Amino acid sequence: MHIAKSLSMLAGSAGLVSGAAFHSPSVRVYGEPVTMSKPYPNTTIAGLTVIDTPIVRLAQEFTRNHSTEAVFKHQMRAWLFGSLIIAGNETLKNSVDLEIQAVSALLHDLGWDLTPNSPVTSLDHRFEVDGAIAARKFLDQYGDENWDERRKQLVWDAIALHTTRTIAYYKEYEVQVTSMGISVDYDGLRTGITNETFQQVITEYPNFDLKSATNDTFTAICAYKPAQTYDNQLQPWGERYVANYTTAGNLRIDTIFKNL
């Protein structure tokens, strides 16, 4: 299905589990959330029940249009793993806005788009921020009236902070779960995900190419916008794989010592 067809559908739509590390966020003050605590539109993917709304379907299509096959599959797995984490925790089932988690996970790596002159990336932002900005524009263009400023901001935060776990894990539940679902693709099982459900997901969306896709993308970003990779997780890729890449004089410690 192409974006135009998806848009026509959109226009016609009106106690923590032991071992889980979720931190209570601030009180909600935004648009009506879609949670697992009441009936919601759903479909089955990889044997799992997940939310199925026009904006979620459109997000899948949008990310496919701006991703390689490997990156598209990674974002699908991140969504599904996050859904499993939510389903395995009563607090999260009653609290997490499923549309926010789905859209955040599905669009979280738009900043990996290496297409020349891509409309979703820049030279002067970290890839996480590129993704957050692109997702916000996507929601501004395609989101319905329930996508108020607060819900859009949560998507922005979830994407911008997804690699910064020391902050993301203390934000709102949607931000926490987005980051945690993504981490499963790299770090393995979390509470709510069994060996069986993990295998279901990677059978539907195989992960054999995730390592090379991550390595190639991070190396490329370090090469074409090195200033956006110092002092964050991409720095080791620049140091290891990119000729003439140097952090000398470019780290925060250098700036502080120079100016004080």
Structure tokens at 84: 């499993």
Residue 149, SS3 per DSSP: helix
- Write out pLDDT tens, residues 101-146: 999 999 999 999 999 999 999 999 999 999 999 999 999 999 999 9
Mean pLDDT of 31-57: 95
Band of pLDDT at residue 233, cut at 50, 70 and 90:
very high
Mean pLDDT of 12-40: 62
Structure tokens at 221: 């970003």
Residue type, 55: I
pLDDT (0 to 100) of residue 21: 57
Mean pLDDT of 210-226: 98
pLDDT of 92 higher than 70: yes
Band of pLDDT at residue 9, cut at 50, 70 and 90:
very low
Band of pLDDT at residue 210, cut at 50, 70 and 90:
very high
User: What residues does 45 pair with on adjacent strands?
Assistant: 48
pTM equals 0.88
pLDDT (0 to 100) of residue 16: 35
Residue type, 244: N
pLDDT (0 to 100) of residue 27: 53
d(CA 118, CA 116): 5
Length of the chain (residues):
260
d(CA 238, CA 243): 8
Structure tokens at 207: 């992960």
Q: Where are the beta strands (DSSP E) in the chain?
A: 42-45, 48-51
pLDDT (0 to 100) of residue 31: 82
